[in-house]
Amino acid sequence: MSRSSQSGLRSIKRDWSDKPPSSQDIPWDPTPPKDDVRSRRLKEIEEALRSGPPSSSSSKPLSIQPTNNKRPSTTSIDEVPTKKARQLPVSWGQDDPLSSSTTWSRDKSSKASTSAKKESSRSTGRDRPAKPPAVFLSQEQTKILKLVEKGTSVFYTGSAGTGKSVLLREIIRALRRKYSKSPDAVAITASTGIAACNIGGTTIHSFAGIGLGIEEAKVLSAKVRKNRKATSRWQRTKVLIIDEVSMLDGDLFDKLSEIASTIRNSPIPFGGIQIIVTGDFFQLPPVVKGNGQTKFAFEAMMWHKTIERTFNLTKVFRQRDQEFVDMLNEMRFGTLSSKSIAKFRSLSRPIPIQDDLVPTELFPRREDVERANQSRMNLLDEKQEAFKAIDAGLITDEEQRSKILANVMAPSLLMLRAGAQVMLIKNQEDGMLVNGSIGKVLRFVDPAVYGTDQDIEGAFAPEFVGSSAATEDLVKKKDKKSSTVGTVKLFPVVEFLLPNGGRREMLVLPDVWKVELPSGEVQASRTQLPLILSWAMSIHKSQGQTLERVKVDLSKVFEKGQAYVALSRATCLEGLQVLGFDPRKVQAHPKVVAWSKTLETIAE
């Protein structure tokens, strides 16, 4: 295989930003690793992978390299504080235990010659990590955070992109600080597995110990009583967070309150637990069985008795273009003006792009996603590399664990090829590359030689096939430079598109996702590369994502709210292609529209 075709670089138009190198641009140490460093790195990576993720909170997750965005020189595997695998937009605050990075990266600019990189590295100083950009909560976000800190039970909502997830992240951080002496006082849950994984928590069902939760509240309470761990969770919880509440059935909300009161022996709603609920009822509704009627959580009997304050966030952060914000708002309420309809129809054209990163196509069904990604993969000639996840956790029943881990964004088997379009599914420390960043696999390299001549010259052609995450599957290869036979795992080098139009190349190493109970018990965990194929994605998985380039065929959309979720992932009209636009597909639930008029907003 020729080096040039292997790199995948030829076809990418180099659109490096003109920014002069700064501490965030080229923060890595360009010194080639010495042989002893190389072998130490190899050992470290192997050990990290062999150990796999921790099985309880007492052990800490392994981070291959605490990057600070620097290329490793004499680093060792650092143990990072127990973190939640929350996948939220832009991370800020260097002490953020929720963000991690297992990647090494370097930005490129048109002037990024080796000497320029060295210069930049020198001028920034090796030991000074690049500071992530500061993000400040808006006035409305801050007010809600303060109320939560005081112990008020709140529900807050807001249209797509108003920073609900960002605020939730701050709330979790603040509550963890407040209850630092009893960490299991804060229960982090969500209505669905995917949403729960995104915040490093569990489903509300799993937390509550109620299985599917279809029985009467009394029967469920008895079930919980028989479960020592679930009983103890209910008793020890001081704050219960429920994310993506739009998908929580109203009857279940009432049952949860009754169970909490029964187990905690307290007649007050949820037995006195502070409740933090968030979500957008205009997005995906609860799953209704059979011909049943949708019952939203806000229709629950206990809703008003539980929630002391309700807020509607109004400042949209994801889209800056007011025209697009207005169109999405009309769509949200199902009241599109003829001007907006015409504009949406005009978006059927292909997205004007200067490179070969195509928009991510969103589909309602998973089968279509898999088909679309696979057919794109088949068009690539490069050799396919398989990355098999390492799954672990307290749940040893493989079927049960797989079911839980099906909600983790990272797949159990990731097939990649040079040239494959991928999406990063974890935020990086510097805030430049975030969950949702799109890029292209350039090549596969031995991390120990990444950025050196051996990497560039292709001394480590990717002969390696099989699970790079499983030590047993490592292949022996000949090190052409030193003529020694070593055991080497190869990992993908990906070139990502930055929001400013620049590019950043990054060596991507495995990360850990955990499904954790408030006690810190890791029910299940997955160690895998933080990448997925990104030619296509399901609308369900896209919930919560911010995407620069999106393509949606609305003729395939079938559920209320689905069109809104899909289109609102885009950051701008230029980056959105809409096929089959039909205003009849844009529907808001009348109950949600009526209820939304009762919400309190906070003037900025």
For binding to ligand ATP (CB under 6 A), which residues are involved? 89-90, 135-138, 141, 158, 160-166, 280, 317-318, 544, 546, 568
What is the nearest approach in angstroms of ligand ATP to the Cβ of residue 237? 24
Choose between 208 and 557: whose C-beta lies nearer to ligand ATP: 557
Q: Provide the CA 112 distance to its chain's centre, in angstroms.
A: 30
What is the bridge-based pairing of β-strands 413-416 and 522-528? Answer: unpaired
Choose between 245 and 389: whose C-beta lies nearer to ligand ATP: 245
Choose between 283 and 421: whose C-beta lies nearer to ligand ATP: 283
What whole-number distance in Å separates Cα of residue 369 and Cα of residue 429?
Answer: 29
What is the nearest approach in angstroms of ligand ATP to the Cβ of residue 166? 4
Query: In this structure, which amino acid lies at residue 193?
Result: G
Choose between 53 and 285: whose C-beta lies nearer to ligand ATP: 285
Choose between 328 and 445: whose C-beta lies nearer to ligand ATP: 328
Choose between 160 and 369: whose C-beta lies nearer to ligand ATP: 160
Three-state secondary structure of 51-120: HCCCCCCCCCCEECCCCCCCCCCCCCCEECCCCCCECCCCCCCCCCCCCCCCEEEEEEECCCCHHHHHHH
What is the nearest approach in angstroms of ligand ATP to the Cβ of residue 542? 9
What whole-number distance in Å separates Cα of residue 180 and Cα of residue 26?
Answer: 37
What is the nearest approach in angstroms of ligand ATP to the Cβ of residue 109? 24
What is the nearest approach in angstroms of ligand ATP to the Cβ of residue 334? 17
What is the nearest approach in angstroms of ligand ATP to the Cβ of residue 206? 22
Rg (CA), the chain: 24
User: How long a stretch of residues is the chain?
Assistant: 604
10 Å Cβ neighbour count for 461?
Answer: 17
Q: Are 101 and 187 in contact (CB under 8 A)?
A: no
Name which of 173, 3, 212, 181 is nearest 93 in CA terms.
173
Can you point out the beta strands (E) in 322-445? Answer: 360-363, 385-388, 390-392, 413-416, 421-424, 438-445
Buried b / exposed e over 499-530, threshold 16 CB at 10 Å, is: eeebbbbbbbbbbbbbbbbbeebbbbbbbbbb
Choose between 4 and 500: whose C-beta lies nearer to ligand ATP: 500
Choose between 318 and 526: whose C-beta lies nearer to ligand ATP: 318
Choose between 318 and 540: whose C-beta lies nearer to ligand ATP: 318
What is the nearest approach in angstroms of ligand ATP to the Cβ of residue 545? 7
What whole-number distance in Å separates Cα of residue 247 and Cα of residue 287?
Answer: 7
10 Å Cβ neighbour count for 428?
Answer: 26
Query: How far from 543 is each of 244, 279, 567, 570, CA to CA, in Å?
Result: 10, 11, 11, 11
What is the nearest approach in angstroms of ligand ATP to the Cβ of residue 18? 24
What whole-number distance in Å separates Cα of residue 564 and Cα of residue 328?
Answer: 7
Q: Are 169 and 175 in contact (CB under 8 A)?
A: no
Task: Please work out, in degrees rounded to the nearest 5, the angle formed at the alpha carbon of residue 105 by the alpha carbons of 100 and 108.
Answer: 145
What is the bridge-based pairing of β-strands 600-601 and 309-313? Answer: parallel
Choose between 166 and 441: whose C-beta lies nearer to ligand ATP: 166
Q: What is the DSSP string of 410-423?
A: S-SEEEE-TT-EEE
Q: Are 179 and 68 in contact (CB under 8 A)?
A: no
Choose between 332 and 504: whose C-beta lies nearer to ligand ATP: 332
Choose between 157 and 525: whose C-beta lies nearer to ligand ATP: 157
What whole-number distance in Å separates Cα of residue 392 and Cα of residue 402?
Answer: 10
Q: Are 449 and 460 in contact (CB under 8 A)?
A: yes
What is the nearest approach in angstroms of ligand ATP to the Cβ of residue 158? 5
The pair of three-digit structure tokens given for residue 305, joined into one six-digit string: 């008795």
What is the nearest approach in angstroms of ligand ATP to the Cβ of residue 213? 24
What is the nearest approach in angstroms of ligand ATP to the Cβ of residue 89? 3
What is the nearest approach in angstroms of ligand ATP to the Cβ of residue 165? 3
What is the nearest approach in angstroms of ligand ATP to the Cβ of residue 212? 26
What whole-number distance in Å separates Cα of residue 447 and Cα of residue 51?
Answer: 18
What is the nearest approach in angstroms of ligand ATP to the Cβ of residue 135? 5
Q: What is the DSSP string of 444-458?
A: EE-GGGTTSHHHHHT
Name which of 312, 303, 315 is nearest 153 in CA terms.
303
DSSP 8-class letter at 530: S
Choose between 170 and 391: whose C-beta lies nearer to ligand ATP: 170
Choose between 380 and 593: whose C-beta lies nearer to ligand ATP: 593
